[in-house]
Amino acid sequence: MNLSKHLNHKVFEIIASIAAREQIPSYVIGGFVRDLLITGSADGPKDIDIVVVGSGIDMAEKVKLAVGKELPLNVFRNFGTAMLKWGETEIEFVGARKESYRRDSRKPLVEDGTLEDDQKRRDFTINALAISLNPDDYGSLVDPFGGLGHLEEKLIMTPLEPGSTFSDDPLRMIRAIRFATRLGFSIEAKTLEAIQKHRYRIDIVSRERISDELNKILMCDQPGEGFLLLDQTGLLELIFPELHQMKGVEEVNDMHHKDNFLHTLEVLDNMAGKTDNLWLRWAALLHDIAKPRTRKFDPDTGWTFHAHEFIGAKMVPGIFRRMKLPLNEKMKYVQKLVKLHLRPIVLSQDTVTDSAVRRLIFDAGEDLEDLMTLCEADITSKNERTVRRHLKNFQVVREKIIELEERDSIRNFQPPVSGDDIQKVFGIPPSREVGIIKNAIKEAILDGEIPNEFNAAYAFMLKKGKAMGLKVIQEADRKGKKDR
């Protein structure tokens, strides 16, 4: 098979010219070739991996010189690689090499090798495909392990014996699942069996690398398939025990609850159809994470999971910390959505009061729309009438949110009366009393007792202060104060 007509990027012509002149065998390999064969097109910016039988760094430097432009070139001499940035395309150069591994590390011992040595060290046959950039066979497909056939069969297989491949670099077990999920492929039976057999080797892989693969699975079109495979292979219990513990159904007195693990994966897949926000997908994955800890059976009411949203929110930082996920605003965002995920659902089932909606707007703030998206994804009933009813009720909640937000300006709530105003009026320093009055004003606004405006809040402040035994020392300066 010759694929030269698809080698449209200028870099291929330049590499071919240098390869011919310098007698350096060169090939494009990996994801570029795989995706080209899957889609039949190389259009658009793509990362390109170049392997040369020689020095990848030298080839990268020669390409940069030949291009005659100021292209950024990063050289990583410790790894024998170089990265050239050409517009939106990143081109990585590496010398062909063969690898061997120590039992206690996934970092290989590396030495120079042939193209076939380099293809052997690749994780899967579909990633070991190469295209020649040499003058005598330019554009020819180099496929020693049947990767083309596996693409056609939609199979994930390793170039070498899978047990050896996964034992050497256990991260490849999760990568196999990630590629199967992303491409909609199956994992070949012996390869799948090897993952199950060698799953405990995952212990030598850093949490950062595992989480990076989990994030990539989460960003697939049907991420639930990936987590099912993680569970099937026994990896899930090792890398994400909280999620594994959600599996199964208990039954007492002929009453059973749903399988919360399968429900969570349905919610996750629903969410994947609505957003590319990774952290919103994490919220979907974790929204019911505390159900195993809160599960109880009541003879009168059946199975309950009281306060699972609050306990789940408390679990989020520990999960993020262990998995080396960011402990910043992203974690707080996920935690917030887990904590609030029942609120719109409760509203949609009961009479929608202005007060309850104001509090939802206030508590969710700028993340309100994402919270509503999560709640809609949480509808996994197989009964279409039930789904339509819930969605209709959520629409009522959304309309009430718009109405109250336009009228009361709650989302970016700032108290009409400030702490400084309270201190000046009553002649008191920063204190507990100031906090009590500010909170009382906020609660009165959210309850609809007073409108969200200065004059009403000021009058309420005077009334509250008087009830607390405070005396007015001076009137607040109302200049510049505007009712909302």
Q: Which of 152, 170, 193 is the last residue of a domain?
A: 152
Q: Are residues 122 and 171 in the same domain?
A: no
* Domain final position from 239, 270, 290: 239
- On whether residue 133 sits in a domain, the answer given is yes
- Do residues 8 and 98 share a domain? yes
Establish if 359 belongs to a structural domain: no
- Is residue 24 located within the same domain as residue 160? no
Instruction: Provide the CATH number for the domain around residue 199.
Output: 1.10.110.30
Q: Which of 115, 130, 152 is the last residue of a domain?
A: 152
Q: Are residues 21 and 158 in the same domain?
A: no
What is the domain count for the chain? 3
Residue 217 counted as domain residue: yes
Range of the domain at 36: 4-152
Q: Is residue 263 in a domain?
A: no
Q: What is the 3-state secondary structure (H, E, C) of the chain?
A: CECHHHCCCHHHHHHHHHHHHHCCCEEEECHHHHHHHHHCCCCCCCCEEEEECCCHHHHHHHHHHHHCCCCCEEEECCCCEEEEEECCEEEEEEECEEEECCCCCCCCEEEECCHHHHHHCCCCHHHCCEEECCCCCCCEEECCCCHHHHHHHCEECCCCCHHHHHHHCCHHHHHHHHHHHHHCCEECHHHHHHHHHCHHHHHHCCHHHHHHHHHHHHCCCCHHHHHHHHHHCCHHHHHCHHHHCCCCCCEECCEECCCHHHHHHHHHHHHHCCCCCHHHHHHHHHCCCCHHHHCEEECCCEEECCCHHHHHHHHHHHHHHHCCCCCCHHHHHHHHHHHHCCHHHHHHHCCCCHHHHHHHHHHHHHHHHHHHHHHHHCCCCCCHHHHHHHHHHHHHHHHHHHHHHHHHCCCCCCCCCCHHHHHHHHCCCCCHHHHHHHHHHHHHHHCCCCCCCHHHHHHHHHHHHHHCCCCCCCCCCCCCCCCC
pTM for the model stands at: 0.86
Say yes or no: 65 and 143 in one domain: yes
- Tens digit of pLDDT per residue, the chain (484 long)? 888 888 988 999 999 999 999 999 999 999 999 999 998 877 765 799 999 998 989 999 999 999 887 889 999 988 889 999 988 899 999 999 876 556 666 565 566 788 988 898 899 999 999 999 999 999 999 999 999 999 999 999 999 999 988 988 999 999 999 999 999 999 999 999 999 999 999 999 999 999 999 999 999 999 999 999 999 999 999 999 999 999 977 766 556 667 899 999 999 999 999 999 999 999 999 999 999 998 888 777 777 788 899 999 999 999 999 999 999 999 999 999 999 998 887 776 666 778 888 888 888 889 999 999 999 898 887 778 877 887 888 888 888 888 887 777 777 677 889 899 999 999 999 999 999 999 999 889 888 899 888 999 999 999 999 999 999 887 766 655 554 4
- Does residue 34 lie in a domain region? yes
